[in-house]
């Protein structure tokens, strides 16, 4: 880019985006930046892979923006950053999308269509989505290695999964087992707990009598799943609860029922018994071991009838609710399963993976379980075991993909038994640093402590095949199983010819491979891994390990990962588990856990409910950089974000200020052919404000760096924007304007140019990680050929002690406070800034303030347009002042106890003529109606503006600074200058209206209607001429305009000279 080239008058995000993207492409900016840091210290960042279905939403956008910003920051600090993006491409969500695209209803349709073709369709779908996501991420300036993302569906990556699994196996952490799992009968697979969504459904609610075998009466249990009754194995009671034997009468017949004492009346009412009699009460412990007959023994010939079945046991999950006895079927319910496991009971489950009863279910065989509910209820009724039947609306789990009601089944699944290494997991957690720290201590540790073994198997197609080969009559001994870890290993052990360089590890290719060793042939189990397993190995999968070990040896474990808080139990956890199971270590060092992106009103975003703010819309409305700035201005540590259109607009305005600030000096620098390379800042004759701005830059750099390094880029941005808006725009530019405008070359002007150029270049460098697009444009315009090809190759600015002047910063802070108060006082006096004040009196409250004012008198005079600055030291009083007092409650509270508030009010309301404690006590006593004893520590005296003088208090660094008084007395000279400045302003306006270049010379004709004023103005003709680049002359043609200035008519004529 050409240095100091003219730029558009306004910040236009669209234009900036377009030209920057073009520039990046032309110059290979990304590749060059990476190359530039090739020899830097390694920084291993790992991208948490987004799932490849759908476009980037605001949450993903926030996440990627944060990642991009931190990667850029780290690069600027010299690191060689790993920035490979990742995509999570396997799993049921994509399968169901493809199924619905192809019009499939269930697994059989897939088998008919052909597994290979179906998997190809899934691959194609995932690839398409991946491309869309990449384009989304690029659209807001993210720089990652888009040309070679890691894909969980790639052969290299699946191998990384296999390897990790094999490592876990070698540590003895893989086993097959029956578990009660949540099954989607449509998808015919187990689904993870977090994939279960809860909806309100209406289910049967039945009370079933289980007839006691060895004594009279029945046990009454309640259930909402009649279809689990065939699998009833035992009845659970609470041994510490009291139960009642009740003789109940209905329609002349009596029977004995056992229920918890506390619910007798409720149950009997449900059963519509007319009378009842409590025969006896007994503790639950006495019921233990009682036996009963299966209520569907006739219908289900092969009902659970084995050692220990049909008995009463204690269980912790029993509550005195409904009946106080719980129908338990370990083949279905999860708690039932666990208790049955403890009791050593067999697991009986007469239901297939599609939710259809098998032959063991007798009369119900072939029926879908939920469809059998009515028959079962009818049969129970016919058998005389139905006490009551009604319906019940409750939350019930459904498959997140297809909304089918889930069922609980005990089936054979593969597990990684992370519970065996729980202590190691908890130890390893301490090796990671979490931001915010509490998330690790509270949320994560709680979760890990309570987490069960991992069911890693899914009975599906589009996933990494589980690399387990089993002999035909396998007995469950893992030593007899073959677990393959790499392609090479597979090629070596397979019976078939396998080319490791070429093989696709997906089903069905691997399904056909067998292994024969020592005369035994092994076949692969048909399952695939749960998709969560894929991403759990990202820390080595992203490095193509084990296929390639160089990067792994050098980089692993990850230096940094960052995701939202839902990943606590997701990716943060799965990586810890897999890292520990496979390598005995936590695979990441730093974790930045951010929040969720919510709607402006605080609701969660939801694509399906059409409650979203789309990143594309925001970019279109306000631009990519403003959106990024907004996202990066939010606290990234745990807290949810509310998206705000208004705040995004504000960011655009702030960038417009950046644009204006940078644009301001360009015409002058161009005109004077300023060459930043030829001027050494240290050799310039810097003025105080220049030194001040350079010092402020150091402070800004230091504060920003500290914020970045503690993962608070939002605070860094605050500091930067404040520096830009407050220091550069609102102060430095205002002060430096006259120096820039001066016609003649001067050391002062050069110093201003050099300062400005240096500060702007550094400032835009500091902006680079936040707003990479506009930063690039500005940087290019400031540096031209002399800088790096891209701002993103710049080093992160370092704090430079040599330019740091804290005293000067404090001085200017005081100057600005005084200036602001002075402007206020002027306004009260109705005196414009253009009219000089004869004097300004600063009555300081503190020595430091007085010293600062004293040192900066010249600057203050200029800023306040005052002829004189008078200073009243802190130790002095100004005769005409009155004083008030302010209470210090930290002293007053303990001293006065309950009366403190009252004393405070009195103190605050009185005034005295002197800063005198006795006088104050007297005044307070008067106000309060009684004497109080005050100490100097209790009060702070404050100046108050006396009548007749225009004064305004000011504060410095949160402390009272003093009062600024403006004397607005008019003299001839002041009037003369006032009018002259009014004229200058109007001439400047005319110059602009006439579209004159800033260095164009003019002829100026001034006619003042009032003779006295006309004479006064003549005194300032030189000033007017200089400021407007004018020669005073008669102007007959061209611009003529009459103005009313303070009631005096002034006519100006302006024309271009020559």
Taking the C-alpha atoms of residue 238 and residue 321, their distance in angstroms, rounded to an integer, is 12
Nearest to RNA of 356, 984 (CB atom): 984
CA gap 945, 959 in Å, rounded: 18
For RNA, give the closer residue by CB, 505 or 906. Answer: 906
Helix, strand, coil tally for the chain in percent (to 5): 45, 20, 35
Question: Between residues 712 and 1021, which has the closer beta carbon with respect to RNA?
Answer: 712
Angle subtended by helix axes 1011-1018 and 972-993, to nearest 10: 80
Going from the C-alpha of 364 to that of each of 221, 223, 248, 305, 846, the distances in angstroms are 22, 18, 32, 18, 93
Closest CA to 1049 of 969, 983, 974: 983
CB nearer to RNA: pick between 33 and 1028:
1028
**What b-and-e string marks burial along 87-97, b requiring 16 or more CB atoms within 10 Å of the CB?**
bbbbbbbbbbb
Going by the annotation, the residues of the binding site are: 607
Closer CB to RNA, 77 or 633, in the complex: 633
Nearest approach in angstroms of CB 455 to RNA is 11
Q: Between 498 and 956, whose beta carbon lies closer to RNA?
A: 956
Q: Which is nearer to RNA, 657 or 949 (CB)?
A: 657
Q: Is residue 837 a contact partner of residue 864, using CB atoms and an 8 Å limit?
A: yes
Range 898-926 burial, b when 16+ CB lie within 10 A, else e: eebeebbebbeebebeebebeebbebbee
Q: Which of 72, 61, 62 is nearest to 594 (CA)?
A: 62
Kindly tell me which of 380 and 429 has the beta carbon lying closer to RNA: 429
Q: Which CB, 193 or 1012, lies closer to RNA?
A: 193
> How far, in Å, CA of 555 to CA of 558, rounded?
7
Smallest distance, Å, CB 275 to RNA? 35
To the nearest whole angstrom, how small is the minimum distance from the Cβ of residue 501 to RNA?
A: 39
For RNA, give the closer residue by CB, 582 or 724.
724
How far apart CA 195 and CA 188 sit, in angstroms, is: 14
Distance in angstroms (rounded) separating the CA atoms of residues 203 and 211? 25
- Contact yes or no for 431/586 (Cβ under 8 A): yes
Q: What are phi and psi of 493, to 5 degrees?
A: -95, -15
> How many residues are present in the chain?
1058
CA dist 717 to 50, 143, 701, 712, 767, Å? 27, 20, 11, 9, 8
Q: Which amino acids are annotated as binding site for ATP, given as ranges? A: 607
Give CA angle at 749 (743, 754), nearest 5°.
140
* Closest CB to RNA among residues 3, 981: 981
Token couple for 353: 């993976």
Nearest to 100 by CA among 315, 328, 401, 335: 401
Q: Map tokens 């200089």 to a residue.
A: 1026
**What is the C-alpha to C-alpha distance for residues 313 and 291, in angstroms, rounded to an integer?**
10
Q: In sequence order, which residues have a C-beta less than 8 Å from that of residue 710 and are 6 or more positions away?
A: 435
CB of 819 to RNA, least distance (A): 8
C-beta closer to RNA: residue 646 or 879:
646
Closest CA to 21 of 190, 184, 142, 133: 142
Question: In the numeric block, which tokens belong to residue 327?
Answer: 């129908």
CB of 223 to RNA, least distance (A): 16
φ and ψ at residue 668, rounded to 5 degrees? -70, -45
Nearer to RNA, 523 or 989 (CB): 989
Identify which of residues 592 and 892 has a Cβ nearer to RNA in the complex.
892
Helix (H) or strand (E) holding 174: strand 174-184
Pick from 888, 896, 927, 930: which is nearest to 910 by CA?
927
Nearer to RNA, 128 or 722 (CB): 722
Distance between CA 939 and CA 933 in Å, rounded? 12
End-to-end CA distance of the chain: 35
Q: How far apart are CA 55 and CA 47, in angstroms?
A: 17
CB of 370 to RNA, least distance (A): 20
- Strands 882-887 and 911-912: what pairing? antiparallel
| SS3 per residue for 826-861 | HHHHCCCCCCCECEEEEEECCHHHHHHHHHCHHHHH
CA distance 4 to 627: 27
Cβ-based neighbours of 422, under 8 Å, separated by 6 or more: 448, 449
Shortest spacing between CB 235 and RNA, in angstroms:
21
Q: What are phi and psi of 281, to 5 degrees?
A: -120, 150
CA dist., res. 393 & res. 395, Å (int): 7
The CB-of-966 to RNA minimum distance in angstroms stands at 12
């Amino acid at each position: 880019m050409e240095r100091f080239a003219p730029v558009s008058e306004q910040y236009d995000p669209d234009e900036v985006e377009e030209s920057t993207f073009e520039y990046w492409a032309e110059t290979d900016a990304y590749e060059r930046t990476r190359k530039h840091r090739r020899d830097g210290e390694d920084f291993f960042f790992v991208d948490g892979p987004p799932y490849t279905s759908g476009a980037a939403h605001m949450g993903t956008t926030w996440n990627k923006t944060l990642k991009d910003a931190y990667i850029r920051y780290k690069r600027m600090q010299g690191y060689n950053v790993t920035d490979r993006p990742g995509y999570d491409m396997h799993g049921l969500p994509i399968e169901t999308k493809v199924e619905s695209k192809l019009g499939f209803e269930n697994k059989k349709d897939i088998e008919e269509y052909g597994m290979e073709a179906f998997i190809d369709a899934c691959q194609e779908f995932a690839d398409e989505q991946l491309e869309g996501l990449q384009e989304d991420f690029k659209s807001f300036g993210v720089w990652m290695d888009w040309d070679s993302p890691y894909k969980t569906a790639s052969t290299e990556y699946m191998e990384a999964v296999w390897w990790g699994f094999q490592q876990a196996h070698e540590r003895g952490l893989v086993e097959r087992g029956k578990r009660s799992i949540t099954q989607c009968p449509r998808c015919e697979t187990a689904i993870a707990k977090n994939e279960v969504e809860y909806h309100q459904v209406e289910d049967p609610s039945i009370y079933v009598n289980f007839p006691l075998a060895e004594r009279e009466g029945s046990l009454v249990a309640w259930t909402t799943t009649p279809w689990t009754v065939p699998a009833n194995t035992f009845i659970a009671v609470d041994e510490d609860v009291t139960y009642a034997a009740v003789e109940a009468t209905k329609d002349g017949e009596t029977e004995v029922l056992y229920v918890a004492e506390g619910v007798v009346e409720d149950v009997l009412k449900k059963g519509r018994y007319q009378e009842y009699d409590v025969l006896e009460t007994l503790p639950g412990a006495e019921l233990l071991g009682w036996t009963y007959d299966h209520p569907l023994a006739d219908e289900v010939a092969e009902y659970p009838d084995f050692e220990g079945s049909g008995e009463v046991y204690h269980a912790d999950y029993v509550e005195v609710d409904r009946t106080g006895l719980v129908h338990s079927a370990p083949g279905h319910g999860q708690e039932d399963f666990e208790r049955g496991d403890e009791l050593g009971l067999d697991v009986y489950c007469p239901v297939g993976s599609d939710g259809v009863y098998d032959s063991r279910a007798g009369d119900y065989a072939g029926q879908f379980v939920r469809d059998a509910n009515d028959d079962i209820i009818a049969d129970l009724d016919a058998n005389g075991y139905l006490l009551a039947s009604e319906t019940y609306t409750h939350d019930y789990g459904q498959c997140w993909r297809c909304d089918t009601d889930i069922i609980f089944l005990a089936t054979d699944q593969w597990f990684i038994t992370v519970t065996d290494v729980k202590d190691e997991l908890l130890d390893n957690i301490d090796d990671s640093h979490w931001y915010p720290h509490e998330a690790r201590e509270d949320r994560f540790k709680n979760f890990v402590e309570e987490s069960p073994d991992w069911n890693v198997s899914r009975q599906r197609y589009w996933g990494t095949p589980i690399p387990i080969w089993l002999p035909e009559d396998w007995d469950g001994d893992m030593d007899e199983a073959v677990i393959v870890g790499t392609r090479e290993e597979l090629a070596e052990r397979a019976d078939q010819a396998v080319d490791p360089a070429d093989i696709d590890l997906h089903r069905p290719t691997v399904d056909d491979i067998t292994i024969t060793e020592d005369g035994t042939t092994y076949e692969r189990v048909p399952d695939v891994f749960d998709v969560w397993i894929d991403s759990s190995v990202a820390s080595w999968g992203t490095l193509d390990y084990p296929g390639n070990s160089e990067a792994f040896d050098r980089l692993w474990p990850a230096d940094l990962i960052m995701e939202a808080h839902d990943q606590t139990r997701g990716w943060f956890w799965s990586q810890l588990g897999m890292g520990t199971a496979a390598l005995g270590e936590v695979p990441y060092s730093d974790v930045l856990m951010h929040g969720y992106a919510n709607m402006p009103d605080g609701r969660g975003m939801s694509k399906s409910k059409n409650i979203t703010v789309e990143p594309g819309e925001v970019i279109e409305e306000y631009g990519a950089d403003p959106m990024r700035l907004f996202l990066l201005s939010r606290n990234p540590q745990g807290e949810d974000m509310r998206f705000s259109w208004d705040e995004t607009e504000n960011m655009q305005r702030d960038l417009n200020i950046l644009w204006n600030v940078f644009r301001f000096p360009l015409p002058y620098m161009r005109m004077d052919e300023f060459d930043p390379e030829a001027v050494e800042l240290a050799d310039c004759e810097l003025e105080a404000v220049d030194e001040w701005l350079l010092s402020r830059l150091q402070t800004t750099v230091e504060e920003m760096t500290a914020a970045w390094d503690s993962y608070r880029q939002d605070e860094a941005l605050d500091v930067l924007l404040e520096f830009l808006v407050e220091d550069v725009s609102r102060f430095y530019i205002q002060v430096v304007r006259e120096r820039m405008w001066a016609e003649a070359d001067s050391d002062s002007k050069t110093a201003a140019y050099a300062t400005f150029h240096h500060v702007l270049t550094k400032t835009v460098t500091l902006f680079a990680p936040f707003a990479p697009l506009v930063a690039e444009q500005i940087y290019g315009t400031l540096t031209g050929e002399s800088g790096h090809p891209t701002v993103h190759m710049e080093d992160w600015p370092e704090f430079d002690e040599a330019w740091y002047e804290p005293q000067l910063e404090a001085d200017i802070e005081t100057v600005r406070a005084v200036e602001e108060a002075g402007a206020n006082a002027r306004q009260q006096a109705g005196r414009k800034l253009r009219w000089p004040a004869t004097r300004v009196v600063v009555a300081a409250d503190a020595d430091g303030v007085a010293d600062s004012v004293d040192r900066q008198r010249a600057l203050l005079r200029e800023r306040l347009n005052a002829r004189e600055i008078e200073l009243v030291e802190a130790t002095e009083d100004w005769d005409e002042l009155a004083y008030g007092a302010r209470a210090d409650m930290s002293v007053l509270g303990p001293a006065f106890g309950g009366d403190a508030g009252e004393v405070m009010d009195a103190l605050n309301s009185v005034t005295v003529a002197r800063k005198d404690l006795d006088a104050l006590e007297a005044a307070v006593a008067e106000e309060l109606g009684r004497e109080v004893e005050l100490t100097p520590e209790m009060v702070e005296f404050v100046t108050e503006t006396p009548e007749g003088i225009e004064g305004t208090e000011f504060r410095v660094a949160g402390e009272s600074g003093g009062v600024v008084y403006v004397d607005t007395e008019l003299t001839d000279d002041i009037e003369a200058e006032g009018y002259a400045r009014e004229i200058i302003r109007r001439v400047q306006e005319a110059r602009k209206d006439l579209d004159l270049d800033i260095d164009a010379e003019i002829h100026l004709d001034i006619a003042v209607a009032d003779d006295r004023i006309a004479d006064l103005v003549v005194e300032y003709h030189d000033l007017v001429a200089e400021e407007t680049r004018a020669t005073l002359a008669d102007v007959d043609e061209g611009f003529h305009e009459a103005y009313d200035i303070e009631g005096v008519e002034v006519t100006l004529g302006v024309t271009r000279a020559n």
